[in-house]
Amino acid sequence: MDVLKIWSTKLPTKVKFFAWLLSRGRLNTRAYLHYRNIKTLEESWCEHCTGVMETDAHIFSECRRARDVWARLGFSVPSSLVQRPWDIGVSTPLPENVRLDIVLLILWHLWKSRNAAIFDHTDSSSQDIINRVAKNIDSWMGRYKGNLPYIREWRTWLDQFVTMS
C-alpha cells in the first residue's frame, strides 16, 4: 500500500494533507523543528512527557494521551506504524472500506489535541478526542454515499466509547 491510498479517502483535504505530511515524516513536531535548527533542544520535549523528544512516533503512539486513546479503542499502534496509517487497525473486524478514514480521523484529533495543549494551553482527555472523532464522522457522513453502511457500522461501534456532553 502506498501514500496514494490517503488521497482516495472521503475526508476533507486538510485531513488528507495532514496524513500525507505524517506519512512523509514532515509534520512540524518539536523534534522535526529541532532537527531543522528552528527550535532548541530544550524546546523540543513533549508537552505531556517530561524529557521525551516530541517526534511523530511519540505523539501518535508512545505519548500517554495516544496510548490512552488507542487502548480505549482496543487498537495496538506500535511506533513503527505511525507513518503508515493504512496499516493501523488491519485486524479490526469492522468494514475495511473506511478503516483508513477512521484511523486518519483519530490521528488528526490526536494532532489537534497536541496543538491545543501547546498553543491554547488546553488539555484534552482521551475521551474528548474520541468524542470529537465521533462528531466528525457524524458531520461528514454525507461524503460516504457509496460506503454509507460501512461508515455507519464504524460509527455504531464507536458509540460504545462516546460519552454525551
In this prediction the pTM is 0.94
Look at residue 103 in the predicted model and tell me its pLDDT. 96
Taking the CB of residue 145, how many other CB atoms lie within 10 A of it?
9
Q: What is the pLDDT along the chain (165 residues), one digit of tens a residue?
A: 466 778 888 999 999 999 999 999 999 999 999 999 999 999 999 999 989 999 999 999 999 999 999 999 999 999 999 999 999 998 888 999 999 999 999 999 999 999 999 999 999 999 999 999 999 999 999 999 999 999 999 999 999 998 855
Hey, which residues does 53 pair with through a beta bridge? 45
Q: In the chain, what are the domain boundaries?
A: 10-161
Look at residue 54 in the predicted model and tell me its pLDDT. 97
Look at residue 109 in the predicted model and tell me its pLDDT. 98
Look at residue 164 in the predicted model and tell me its pLDDT. 59
